[in-house]
Structure 1
């Protein structure tokens, strides 16, 4: 037992968050990163990649609800979904709750993340142990979209559930990657990506949205809040190949009709997430089509 252990995630040289650790459950250094799962006092089990908090049992719902349900309740009929990253399984779990989805392909670069979560965080990873509609691929998402264009298959929704643009995730933020993503999308396809912190990474947000503007037709950004990412307020980017609009084409009636229960997401929050704080609107002026 490690009853006196605290872990601290530091952001640059001026900010940190500390968590009381009850027990270390898993620790492995892979060719890509160090993967840890710890039992914390206040947040339940927690996944860390290279010492950065990825998922906790307590607040994972906020991230996974908003990355999955926002695009899936905007697209008119999402049948074929691709998740890149998301090794904890939470995004695939939420995608597969939608009855219209016939197939979810998930491409995670580091099998140890899936392995650790399947063993210690079944709350998010149970779906990875075997679901008839899930095709789990341990491989490079960048390479996957590059090679996938040769097939006739297209995705209705692509979700980029990545870490920050460092290490193995760095290429997931570049123009070459998004050009290939665009080629893998159906004509009215949607791509949603983890979009960093408006407080701390305003420049990365501008850079990401600049890349998306060169490739996609309509670009938006939306926010969610959680307990464990630096600054609390975080964003997802939302880009479309056709004319789909995340508010005007939001299928409100489908939320109730789905019969799904959500812990974070709801129809009011879906719309509100696209209304941005003033500082953020000013920073991203000319890059987004938010109201």
Structure 2
């Protein structure tokens, strides 16, 4: 019997592969192709248009770092907007904060949510169980464009790469609409690509330049996730008021007693200490 392998090309001559024990689902939607697989090492994982999205084994790294960093800085997040995030992992982490009153989750493709609820309940179970979560199946760019001024305390852009349905979430218009939708002390976190391979670094720099031109505070922080290209991945932190280091409140966050697998308050400040080559790219745009 021939082995089945999932492979993703990170560059033309570099690829990442996982041996698949079973293919659970393959579906072409009006927006993208969604596949779910099982593997021994990474458990259930799913891809969109052949690109890795989430695995059972390492999803905690991504969802911890997109969520807990801003919550450890902003003292009173009540209204949250999640753009993308159809796997539910980001919403799961946001729902752990009792002070949050309302969560809007906007994903263009309902099938991502429904298939994750079926095959990846580890991340998606909260979506139908917490009444604070309100799901909207439409284009995130259009949704945030209709938001009222100052409607949200926190916007989390949990997007795919800037191709296909995710392309509009890396534009000047989108970031300007996010600025409008955020309160005077609001924070934007965006999936910021990787600095390592040139094609990803190019998109990272494009996004950073646009955010820096929109928000008075724009920083970048890093985390490590084995199944994403190079394993070295970034988030962008943008705010109208709060600096992620100066306004960081570790004692307040620790008092919440949240158990996490990746994020902790010692790591928080360190995550903004970037390698020299990344700092130089961000400073010079090269």
Structures share a fold, TM > 0.5?
A: yes
Residue equivalent to 2:123: 124
Measure how far apart 1:3 and its partner are: 7.3
Residue equivalent to 2:259: 261
Residue equivalent to 1:189: 186
Residue equivalent to 1:74: 73
Correspondence 1:277 to 2:265: no
Give the distance between the partners of 1:163 and 1:237, measured in 2 at CA. Answer: 14
Residue equivalent to 1:249: 247
Which runs of structure 2 are paired with 1:128-277 in the superposition (5 Å)? 128-149=127-148, 154-200=151-197, 201-242=200-241, 244-277=242-275
Other structure's SS at 1:11 match: strand
Give the distance between the partners of 1:100 and 1:250, measured in 2 at CA. Answer: 18
Measure how far apart 1:24 and its partner are: 1.0
Task: Please tell me whether the aligned partners of residues 25 and 37 of structure 1 are also in contact (alpha carbons under 8 angstroms).
Answer: yes
Task: Please tell me whether the aligned partners of residues 198 and 235 of structure 1 are also in contact (alpha carbons under 8 angstroms).
Answer: yes
> How high is the TM-score relative to the length of structure 2?
0.96
Unaligned runs of 5+ in 2: none
Other structure's SS at 1:101 match: coil
Unaligned runs of 5+ in 1: none
Task: Please tell me whether the aligned partners of residues 80 and 156 of structure 1 are also in contact (alpha carbons under 8 angstroms).
Answer: yes
Task: Please tell me whether the aligned partners of residues 250 and 265 of structure 2 are also in contact (alpha carbons under 8 angstroms).
Answer: yes
Other structure's SS at 1:163 match: coil
Give the distance between the partners of 1:218 and 1:40, measured in 2 at CA. Answer: 41
Give the distance between the partners of 1:223 and 1:65, measured in 2 at CA. Answer: 12
Correspondence 1:48 to 2:47: yes
Measure how far apart 1:48 and its partner are: 0.5
Residue equivalent to 2:113: 114
Measure how far apart 1:255 and its partner are: 2.3
Other structure's SS at 2:227 match: coil
Give the distance between the partners of 2:239 and 2:284, measured in 1 at CA. Answer: 17
Task: Please tell me whether the aligned partners of residues 3 and 22 of structure 1 are also in contact (alpha carbons under 8 angstroms).
Answer: no
Other structure's SS at 1:215 match: coil
Measure how far apart 1:26 and its partner are: 1.4
Give the distance between the partners of 2:14 and 2:183, measured in 1 at CA. Answer: 42
Measure how far apart 1:146 and its partner are: 0.9
Task: Please tell me whether the aligned partners of residues 157 and 191 of structure 2 are also in contact (alpha carbons under 8 angstroms).
Answer: yes
Give the distance between the partners of 1:254 and 1:91, measured in 2 at CA. Answer: 21
Measure how far apart 1:286 and its partner are: 6.1
Residue equivalent to 2:102: 103
Other structure's SS at 2:21 match: strand
Give the distance between the partners of 2:92 and 2:224, measured in 1 at CA. Answer: 20
Task: Please tell me whether the aligned partners of residues 3 and 21 of structure 1 are also in contact (alpha carbons under 8 angstroms).
Answer: no
Count of residues in Structure 1 that have an aligned counterpart in Structure 2: 283
Residue equivalent to 2:89: 90
Task: Please tell me whether the aligned partners of residues 3 and 23 of structure 1 are also in contact (alpha carbons under 8 angstroms).
Answer: no
Residue equivalent to 2:15: 16
